[in-house]
Structure 1
Amino acid sequence: MRTGSRLGDTIEGVHLASLIAAVVAFAFAALWAVIGLAGLAGRFPGNRWAGVRTAETVSSQEAWVLAHRVAAPGFLGGAVVAVLGGLLSLANRWGFVYALGGLLIGLLAVSMVSGVAVRAAQALVPPQEQSGGCSSGCCSGGEQTDGADHSQTGSADPAADCGESSCGSCALSGMCLPESQASDSHQP
């Protein structure tokens, strides 16, 4: 009799795992469907938690909307696959395998289309200004405007010429600031 109870516990455990996997699949499907439908309509608001979040897509509202319109079919496809995996999970004793497979295939679809969406958003972002330093006219890459020779400061301290001109070197990022301000400016 003891063997039958172990088998019953195993079957109940498998059913519970399938049920949990189905709920997780349905939750991801709902999230992906909302993102896909809102993105397709151009009404998916910028946020911190969901969507295609990269430097290119959050650079402007126009880039955000374009990226989510491009990504919408992938999000909707991922939602459909996750729902199918969740439904198959409920119909079979070892169904959690179907739910996990549906989630993985859905995540692959969302990931692939998100990459395409990022490239679309990159097309809207203007290329960075190419200069030798932090800005054009800076002594580290452009012409010196104050007549000073900043390449030969005569000091081993890289911040020795702080405050001598309006030139700000990228390598000196925060070195000309008092220590309390410099540490605050590097905090994420």
Structure 2
Amino acid sequence: MVIVAVVLFVLALAVGGVAVAGLIGKLPRNRWAGVRTPDTLRSEESFALANKVAGPTMAAAAGLLVIGGIAALTMNVAMGLGIALVAVVAALFTAGSGGAIGARAAAAMPEPSGCGNDCNCGHTDSATADQTPVAKAEASAKEAASECGESSCGACSLKGACLPAK
């Protein structure tokens, strides 16, 4: 029973560490710990948000694992193993629920464009204020192409956002 308790305490320590790091925003984006879905891994901000949202349930899961470890140490074998097993299942459910909520929060974040934020692609100025909508669009595209260029915004040129309208 001591081995079961030690395993549960070590798991609680690991889950608790991930929970605290997620809550304070210090959990780096990685493939091993935290909420890992395509939406959470697309940017540092979405990973941090998802793990901040999931942090309280991860901490609760760690607490449940500690309770299971204490039960394994203090109760008779059958009762201790039963409570430890229930604690593990409850911890998995709790952590999974929080992870699902965190993943939904990350999915709700807008996708980073990589272009408009970095090089002003699509930027317009007051010189186009009196033009027709088509002329404005053409002027905007020409201005964006001159501002972005090939060297400063490769993502724009790949998406065609910096190319002048034809």
TM range (shorter): 0.5 to 0.7
Matched residue type, 1:47: N
Q: Counterpart in 1 of 2:31?
A: 48
Q: Counterpart in 1 of 2:133?
A: none
**Aligned alpha-carbon RMSD (Å):** 1.7
Q: Counterpart in 2 of 1:81?
A: 64
Q: SS where residue 51 of structure 1 aligns?
A: coil
Once the two structures are superposed, residues 140-188 of structure 1 have per-residue CA deviations (whole angstroms, 9 ceiling, x without a partner) of xxxxxxxxxxxxxxxxxxxxxxxxxxxxxxxxxxxxxxxxxxxxxxxxx
Partners of 2:82 and 2:2 in 1: CA distance:
11
Contact (CA 8 Å) 1:56, 1:125: kept in 2 or not?
no
Q: TM-score, normalised by structure 1?
A: 0.56
Partners of 1:27 and 1:125 in 2: CA distance:
37
Q: Counterpart in 2 of 1:97?
A: 82
Q: TM-score, normalised by structure 2?
A: 0.63
Contact (CA 8 Å) 1:59, 1:125: kept in 2 or not?
no
More helix by share: 2
Partners of 1:49 and 1:59 in 2: CA distance:
15
Q: Counterpart in 1 of 2:128?
A: none
User: For structure 2, which runs of at least 5 residues remain unmatched after alignment?
Assistant: 113-166
Query: Which runs of at least 4 in structure 1 moved beyond 2 Å after TM superposition?
Result: none
Count matched residues.
111
How much identity, in percent, do the aligned residues show?
A: 37
Within 5 Å, which residues of 2 pair with 1:21-170?
21-94=4-77, 95-126=80-111
Larger Rg: 1
